[in-house]
Structure 1
Amino acid sequence: MYQQQNLRATPSPRGVRRPSRPGRLLSAAGLAVAAGLALPGPAAQAAATPSPTPTPVTSTVRCSVPDLVRAIQRANRTPGADTIRLARTCTYELVTADPDSPADGLPVITSEITIDGDGATIKRAASAPDFRILRVGPDTGALTLNRTTISGGRATDCPQFPGQGVCGGGIYSQGSLTVNHSRVVHNAAHTASADVFAEGGGIDSDGTATVNDSEISHNSATYSGPTPSSAEGGGIANDGTLTLNRTRVTDNSIAVTDGNDSFAFGSGHAAFGLTKIDHSTISGNRARAVGGTALGALATGDPLPGQETTLAVTDSTISGNTTSAPKGTALGGGLGTNFPVKLVRTRVVDNTATAPGGTARGGGIHIGRTGEVTLRESTVRGNTAHAPGGTARGGGMSNATGGTARTYRSHITQNTAEAPDGGTSQGGGVFSAVGSTTLAKGSVTGNRAADGGGIFEASGTVTLNGTPVRDNHPDNCAPAGSVPGCTG
């Protein structure tokens, strides 16, 4: 049942998250204004001299870890914005954690700091104890990272949710984070502790984040504990607002303990907040949950209280990703969602949802019970739902539990639902049940399944508005007469 994929509705630790900032001061101020009262304050100073604007400070750091540590400490103490320029192409190899924050390799960023790497790398030494590379603190923490590689970090905690998770192997941010022309590679968030989730192998942002012209690759989030839990966001996870521009999220992975009903969620990117992705690529990411549930290379999940999850993807590509759940449930090889998603001029191509002996739904896209997916001028092509000896539904797109799908000038073509070894395969192009699917001014062509090569409508409604369904194998729509306007 897709209700189980709403991770924070399950007994997982994410279900008990709470906002971290009390509103007592704001409430007091609001009450004072409403009552016509003034909060206590200093005497009037009409002629007070304004404070001078702090002068930005720029420091150049030699190829030395101690010098880099001192530069960050100095910048944290200095009012205003500071820039730290690293030695060109230097590798700053961290062998010990920061003594004041043992989960982090460098001092926590607590002020406005820009790090200009000029091709430099900051990495954890292979022989060092586990720690992430960088953490941006809440409220006043603001980091801009330019032309820098972050590598080898291994998260051991999750400061916003202590004891509940392990977050942000490379970078963890509770404040403001901007990443430009940089690489976040070969970092990990891993836990073997019962009931603890692993999240954001490369980057985990609970604040506001923007990633421009960067690469997030070969990161991982894994859970190997004995009880049901989850691994989320092999490359990126965000609970706050995130914008991704001209960025590659590639070859990241997530995995969970075999056979204990755990969730592997968002192998490339797990979005739990407002997310915008433009001119970017999410490709080659892998999720694995043997006997559990694996969901999407790009996946949306339940937001924090008072926030919302929506996802907008424009002029981007979601390709070559694999969601695998042998003897379990694999949902959405490319995209899996239970929240509003809009794809514009985006290609969802050559993704796979595979579940030998289990259930595979949505080789390209899976829409959950409360999901809403809109495709405009987009393509869903060459995706596969694969379930030997099991059930495969919706090679291109599955709307199987009551969601809403709308497409406009979009094409669903050459997708496959297959279940060899005596399994059941339905809806090579589209599988629909319970919910509503409307296809306008596009096409459903060249798809394959054992039944309903183009569209299989188990229940709910499928509406065709100027959308031909043709050249699918062995038939265009099933059961016969279920989709008005579809023949053959």
Structure 2
Amino acid sequence: MLIEVGRSLPRRWVASATVAGAVAAVGLTGVVPAAAAQVTTAVSCSANPGALQPAITAASPGDTLLVSGTCTGPFTINKNLTLRGVSRAVLDGNQAGSTVTVGSGAQVLLDRLVLTHGSAASAGGGIRNEGTLTVTNSAVRDNTAPSGAGGGIHNLGTLTVVSSTVSANYSLGAGGGINNNGYLTVRSSSVFGNSGDNGGGIFNYLAGQTVALIQSSVHHNTARVSDGGGLLNYQGEMTVSGSTVYSNTATFGGGIWNGGTLTATRSTVLLNTATGGPGSGGGIYKAGGTVALDRSVVRSNTPDNCAPPGSVLGCTG
């Protein structure tokens, strides 16, 4: 059973210190005033765990906040902003909603941060993104969506994850690690140890919604109820390039469950397990759509590498 918030799907699935560098032109006839300078502001949560949200609210679009300590949220960002951690600062959602919510139209960079202890009733325990969000050198871990999708991240916009980890997140619905309803790129990152009803690691939903997994790993994730231990591509487009999908578990499609368009290039799918018996696709289960293997290997999966038999060209055993 795939669980996606608010939708009914076939196959019993339901899916859910300030530094300024401004130079002003004063008294010069005909000179166009310079644009407002971008400001970098230090925000310490060591003495005041609640200091960050007021700083976000007070910041001007384009500013950078240098964050230190453990900041207690949750946090909402509705403007163009950079949050950069000092010594791996922690953003703690305090089990009171998505740790970070990025509003529609906002362009946000989260760098060198740990995002944890979010608990969203609907979707997106660690992050709920409706804008354009880049997460770099960060960890999204130990978040939950107890009645919806996207334990770690729920993406409704454009999301890029670089040199980061998404781990130990839990969702009652689809996408224990990441639930994608938009455009997702994961590069040089790891998605591991997550658990969802379906799509334990990453779930990609409808046609036109895309996932690009580049030089990354998806491992030790679990689909507790049914499909797609590592990756589940329902009707969307998913490309796996230079990546490894291993040691994931589901009833069908231990490594990958596909119903959309899946292309794997120079990648490996191995040591995954499907518990649905013979024909349940330990490595890849092709429920529909297309699967193309380009210089990729599917091996040592249990009980089989690809299912149904003969459905994936170039995959045997």
Tell me, yes or no, whether TM beats 0.5.
yes
Cα contact 2:93–2:126 (8 A) shared by 1: no
Match runs of 1:3-152 below 5 Å: 5=4, 7=6, 48-50=29-31, 53=34, 80-81=36-37, 114-117=40-43, 120=46, 122-124=48-50, 133-134=53-54, 136=56, 141-149=61-69, 151-152=71-72
Cα contact 1:430–1:454 (8 A) shared by 2: yes
1:456 aligns with 2:307: yes
Match of 2:254 among 380, 395, 402: 395
- Give the superposition deviation at 1:187: 2.9
CA distance in 2, matches of 1:212, 1:347: 20
Match of 1:332 among 199, 216, 222: 199
* Length, aligned pairs only: 291
- Give the superposition deviation at 1:458: 7.8
Gaps spanning 5+ residues in structure 1: where?
Answer: 11-46, 55-79, 82-111, 126-131, 154-168, 191-200, 223-230, 257-263, 302-308, 324-329, 386-391, 470-475, 477-488
Cα contact 2:187–2:214 (8 A) shared by 1: yes
1:456-475 CA-to-partner distances (Å, cap 9, x unmatched) read 1289x5222xxx64xxxxxx
Question: For residue 272 of structure 2, what is the aligned residue in structure 1?
Answer: 415
- Give the superposition deviation at 1:294: 3.2
- Give the superposition deviation at 1:218: 2.0
Letter matched to residue 300 of structure 1: N
- Give the superposition deviation at 1:433: 1.6
- Give the superposition deviation at 1:254: 1.3
Secondary structure at the counterpart of residue 312 of structure 2 = strand
1:75-133 CA-to-partner distances (Å, cap 9, x unmatched) read xxxxx45xxxxxxxxxxxxxxxxxxxxxxxxxxxxxx65331367354249xxxxxx93
Letter matched to residue 90 of structure 2: R
- Give the superposition deviation at 1:351: 0.5
- Give the superposition deviation at 1:7: 5.0
State, as a whole percentage, how many aligned pairs show the same letter: 29
Secondary structure at the counterpart of residue 133 of structure 1 = helix
Secondary structure at the counterpart of residue 120 of structure 2 = strand
- Give the superposition deviation at 1:183: 1.9
CA distance in 2, matches of 1:319, 1:143: 33
Letter matched to residue 354 of structure 1: R
Question: For residue 271 of structure 1, what is the aligned residue in structure 2?
Answer: 155
Question: For residue 101 of structure 1, what is the aligned residue in structure 2?
Answer: none
- Residues 145 and 417 of structure 1: CA distance in aligned 2, closer, same or farther (over 3 Å): same
CA distance in 2, matches of 1:117, 1:448: 50
Question: For residue 210 of structure 1, what is the aligned residue in structure 2?
Answer: 109
1:178-207 CA-to-partner distances (Å, cap 9, x unmatched) read 1112321243444xxxxxxxxxx1111111
Secondary structure at the counterpart of residue 426 of structure 1 = coil
Match runs of 1:39-438 below 5 Å: 48-50=29-31, 53=34, 80-81=36-37, 114-117=40-43, 120=46, 122-124=48-50, 133-134=53-54, 136=56, 141-149=61-69, 151-153=71-73, 169=74, 171-181=75-85, 182-190=89-97, 201-206=98-103, 207-222=106-121, 231-256=122-147, 264-288=148-172, 293-301=173-181, 309-323=182-196, 330-338=197-205, 339-355=209-225, 360-369=226-235, 371-385=236-250, 392-399=251-258, 402-419=259-276, 426-438=280-292
Letter matched to residue 227 of structure 2: R
CA distance in 1, matches of 2:289, 2:48: 49
Gaps spanning 5+ residues in structure 2: where?
Answer: 10-27
Letter matched to residue 147 of structure 1: V
Letter matched to residue 294 of structure 1: A
- Residues 7 and 410 of structure 1: CA distance in aligned 2, closer, same or farther (over 3 Å): farther
RMSD: 3.0
1:397-454 CA-to-partner distances (Å, cap 9, x unmatched) read 001xx301110111110101115xxx887111111022111112121111113xxx11
CA distance in 2, matches of 1:430, 1:280: 25
Cα contact 1:322–1:354 (8 A) shared by 2: yes
CA distance in 2, matches of 1:322, 1:121: 35
1:60-87 CA-to-partner distances (Å, cap 9, x unmatched) read xxxxxxxxxxxxxxxxxxxx45xxxxxx
Cα contact 1:255–1:287 (8 A) shared by 2: yes
User: Larger C-alpha radius of gyration, 1 or 2?
Assistant: 1
- Residues 280 and 411 of structure 1: CA distance in aligned 2, closer, same or farther (over 3 Å): same
